Amino acid sequence: MATSLIILLAGGWLILAPFALGYQPYGADWVSQTTNDFWVGIPVAVVALVSFMLFFVSLIASLRAAGVLLVQPRLQQQTLAPGPAMMQTPSPVVPAAYESQSDLDRTLATLAAALAADLNNRRQAQASSDQQSDQTISNRRDV
Amino acid sequence: MMYSGDAMRRLFPLGSYVLLLFFLTGIWVAISPFVMTTQPSGAHWIPSTINNVVVGAILIAVSLLGVVGYMTFALRDILREAREKQLKQELAEQQAAGLAANQ
């Protein structure tokens, strides 16, 4: 990357040098040295610029892969339904980008546990009511 | 084990060829005043000649350094991988020998 940057600067200097050093007369046709330097400097600068950009992109990618740079999550655009749907109270919608598999699993596990506890409570209540009715029947028989 | 083609590809990646191109360009930039006879023979170097020789020398030196750097780092990586493989192999052999002795 440093190499490509130095070569980019050298290519830029090759393009500018005939005018900066004054060996190209002002307003006259380009001398052969100017033409040579200019047409050599342009490809050198372009190739060096391309290689610098490639190095920069690969550096960023490797930094992201190493976890040094964080990848920003892309939010999915939510399309709002026009008309009456706008008047309804919106239920809390979690963007799909934020939903990870572990969150979904956790929510489902909590829901299943709540349903199981509710079922158990109902069964216990039913069992206790059955016992009470049996006791009243036996009491009546005794009487 | 690594094939020689793979090793050569790792030692000379695409960037090395681009640097080789810059090296050849540097040679041309340095010798162009003499080839194009813009530098009078026997006279002191004119400013354009000095500029071209200096810029050409910079291009040659930087591109050579780049190629050597590529080769050095690739060679270091290859040697490190070979050492790690060798260590793993020795460890596996030791474990196999220990298991055989226990049985």
Residues of A near B (Cβ–Cβ under 8 Å) read 3, 6-7, 10, 13-14, 17-18, 21-23, 31-33, 36-37, 40, 43-44, 47-48, 51
> Which residues in chain B have their CB less than 8 angstroms from residue A51's CB?
15, 18
Q: Contact, A67 vs A91, CB < 8 A?
A: no
pTM (predicted TM-score): 0.61
Q: Band of the pLDDT at A23, cuts 50, 70, 90?
A: confident
pLDDT exceeding 90 applies to what percent of chain B?
A: 45
Going by pLDDT thresholds of 50, 70 and 90, the confidence category of residue B59 is very high
Q: Say if CB A28 and CB A54 are below 8 A apart.
A: no
Higher pLDDT, A85 or A71: A71
The residue among B63, B51, B58 whose CA lies nearest residue B23 is B63
Mean per-residue pLDDT over chain A, rounded: 78
**How much is the pLDDT for A74?**
66
